[in-house]
Amino acid sequence: MTPPHQTADISDPALGQVYREVLRRNPGEAEFHQAVREVLESLAPVFTRRPEFVDARILELVCEPERQIMFRVPWTDDQGRIHVNRGFRVEFNSALGPFKGGLRFHPSVNLGIIKFLGFEQIFKNALTGLNLGGGKGGSDFDPKGRSDTEIMRFCQSFMTELHRHLGEYTDVPAGDIGVGSREIGYLFGQYKRITNRWEAGVLTGKGLGWGGSKVRTEATGYGTVLFTDQMLKARGEDFDGQQVVVSGSGNVAIYAVEKAQQLGANVLTASDSSGYVLDDKGIDLALLKQVKEVERGRVSDYAQRRGPSARFVPEGRVWDVPCDVALPCATQNELDGAAAAVLVRNGVKAVAEGANMPTTPEGVRVFQEAGVAYGPGKAANAGGVATSALEMQQNAGRDSWTFEHTEQRLTEIMQDIHASCYETAARYGAPGDYVLGANITGFERVAEAMLAQGLV
């Protein structure tokens, strides 16, 4: 059955027509449809005030990628068996700068998911105030259980095709799910080998010893918490003493836990595909890092070693745990309407998305109707791409900044993003609506650049 968010009409006739055309031209791409609809539902007041955007067909242009690249990725495993995966790079919009967005290696990856991520990236990057376009890429390759040499061979094959589309002034990928510093290293090495250029600015998320930026590992999780802190302060509160649930136990989740604890919160949960752990004393960050980052274990291993304060729950979701703040940091559509209703009944005050589109449209509606401070991913998790841009700045100047200086720049950027979203929502008569504020702020910045550059 087609999900309801794909078929329900949009109230504004012109925007509804654009959405129907997106459905017609992109069949079967449910996540992309969802992302487009979420933005379109915020834009009716913009087109009332800015008819020049309508005349220039800016919205139709924004919904169509500038370039979509698909290619095969052949590679051999350690036993000499041949595998063939599919690679993607969707270069969505370059009005504000070179295409910028991560690479995701996961068996769920398909064109629709890459387009949804790339579309979100346009507005997320615009919100940073930095000169970044939007794009995304990846492969249906599953790195789980593969040896380092297998991952190296896959990355070399992937980059052999992708390199011709990249460049520090053209398209600058980073990491995402399944792509960390190991994969970025193999990808960069192959790019350098093929092009005969040590072009540090062509990839971000590099190792600290060869062009990477301090705070890049922490940036998305830190940024999510910093944005949430600003939402709480807008309501006269802060993180100190708040009970927090976090989903996920990857890079974003771990560093969201770290920053929330630094600000005085008690973080109760972490999760993975096997279930979740509830730790009444608060997550032991050092143990979680050891289990997940060093041993690549499961949260059940954390529970076994933590002691009586922690218990592993193989069924159910972290959203069943009463909390003040919820930070979904795992994957798209993990927090649905029913889970959102449970959080609201249990008194949640603020929800911010560390992952990309983890809350379904029904969940968003529940939070907004209940008056919960809800920070959408394009604003709340923009810290990762913001720090990627800071890495690009350092590479361009052959420079390396301290952790403290880089974290301060990240903090300023997240505060600016919150202020822009908050002020735009108020300017359009919807105070406190961060979805509308983020969508309109990001769209106006992109649309004005597109209008200035002509029909391209």
Q: Looking at domain 69-198, which of 3.40.50.10860, 3.40.50.150, 3.90.226.10, 1.10.1040.10 is its CATH number? A: 3.40.50.10860
- Collect all residues with Cβ–Cβ distance below 8 Å to 209 and sequence separation of at least 6: none
Of the chain, the percentage scoring pLDDT greater than 90 comes to 95
Domains 69-198 and 219-375 share a fold: yes
Tokens found for residue 305: 């070693």
- What's the confidence (pLDDT) of residue 9? 59
The CATH class for the domain spanning 219-375 reads alpha beta
Q: Between residues 177 and 237, which one has the greater pLDDT?
A: 237
The answer to whether residue 136 is catalytic is yes
Per-residue pLDDT for 42 more than 80? yes
How does the average pLDDT of the chain come out, rounded? Answer: 95
How does pLDDT run across 75-84, given as a tens digit for each residue? 999 999 999 9
- What's the confidence (pLDDT) of residue 8? 46
How does pLDDT run across 285-336, given as a tens digit for each residue? 999 999 999 998 999 999 999 999 999 999 889 999 999 999 999 988 999 9
Measured torsion, CA atoms of residues 366, 436, 115, 248, in degrees rounded to the nearest 10: -50
- For residue 30, the one-letter residue type is A
CA distances from residue 211 to 281, 388, 393 in whole angstroms, order as listed:
39, 11, 11
Per-residue pLDDT for 5 more than 50? no
Beta bridge partners of 359: 335
CA distance 371 to 445: 28
Full strand arrangement of the beta sheet holding 275-279:
269-272, 275-279, 310-313
Per-residue pLDDT for 361 more than 90? yes
How does pLDDT run across 118-134, given as a tens digit for each residue? 999 999 999 999 999 99
- What's the confidence (pLDDT) of residue 430? 96
CA distances from residue 147 to 79, 150, 151 in whole angstroms, order as listed:
11, 5, 6
- Note whether 364 and 435 are within 8 A (CB): yes
Per-residue pLDDT for 350 more than 70? yes
CA distance 209 to 206: 8
- Collect all residues with Cβ–Cβ distance below 8 Å to 227 and sequence separation of at least 6: 352, 375, 379, 380, 382, 383, 414, 417, 418
How many other CB atoms sit within 10 Å of the CB of residue 27?
Answer: 8
Domain ranges of the chain: 69-198, 219-375
Determine how β-strand 350-352 pairs with β-strand 373-375.
Answer: parallel
From 100, 115, 124, 136, the catalytic residue: 136
- What's the confidence (pLDDT) of residue 331? 87
- Note whether 393 and 100 are within 8 A (CB): no
